[in-house]
Amino acid sequence: MSDKVLVEIDGGLVTISINRPEVRNAVDRDVSYGVCAAVDELDRRPDLRVGILTGTGGTFCSGMDLGAFLRGEVTRVEGRGILGIALTPPKKPLIAAVEGYALAGGFEAVLACDLLVAARNAQFGLPEAKRGLAAAAGGLIRLPRLIPPRIAMELAMTGALVSAERLYDVGLVNRLVEPGEALAEAKRLAEQIIANAPLSVAASKRVITEQRDWTIEESFTRQEAITAPVLQSADAREGSAAFKEKRAPVWKGE
């Protein structure tokens, strides 16, 4: 893997850091494929439970490397989009830890994550319209599903920056922290998730993600197909036994 992407594994947590601080962690081909490979490893390995996506040097990601784009370099993963997560987010939880700027494809990568921890002074934006481009890596689709559509419309059409505090107010940011604390807080959030049953976490993410397209009439039937195996699992019995016996559960993911 290129040194443009750093991967750290600690227990069940994998931290994936975009490492091009000299260009505000702009995404070239190596970065896209490096992050994609790390996310695939998260999904593939049963011992890995949660991922964190962040950037080095005090910023998250400024989006596509325009220099690479002008050279004709493909900065996305074929069939999967920027960083390999725009079209195909991981099945396991992925947390964005944002300091500094998350712009264009960087903001779209945040939107492909499940949770967002941001420094209070972080800035977000979809400036594609200012460059004759379009936020086609999920910005125009995911953002109006996650915040009020009129606010999403304004951000997409003006290309203006928006603060982490404003996005916290409209519900996009899960945890707002002081500058320099985003990664540490994201790790604390990850540990809370890791402490829970793997099957329960996976089913919860899947239902919450997929139910957006379900009708009310079919919702509970489709939910049952996903959650029934969880309720019948060995971990369900273990969780109940551990609660009754006043001890920490030992999850097996089965």
Task: Check if 99 is active-site.
Answer: no
What does the alpha-carbon distance between residue 251 and residue 9 come to, in Å, rounded to a whole number?
A: 20
- Answer yes or no: 128 catalytic: yes
- Catalytic pick from 22, 41, 108, 245? 108
Instruction: List C-alpha distances in Å: 109 to 28, 79, 88, 92.
Output: 14, 15, 11, 15
- Active-site annotation holder among 128, 178, 181, 238: 128
Distances from the Cα of 251 to the Cα of 199, 225, 240, angstroms: 9, 22, 12
Measured between alpha carbons, how far is 176 from 164 in angstroms, rounded to an integer?
7
Residues 186, 60: Cα–Cα separation, whole Å: 13
Geometric angle at alpha carbon 44, from 14 and 193, rounded to 5°? 45
Which residues are designated catalytic?
Answer: 108, 128
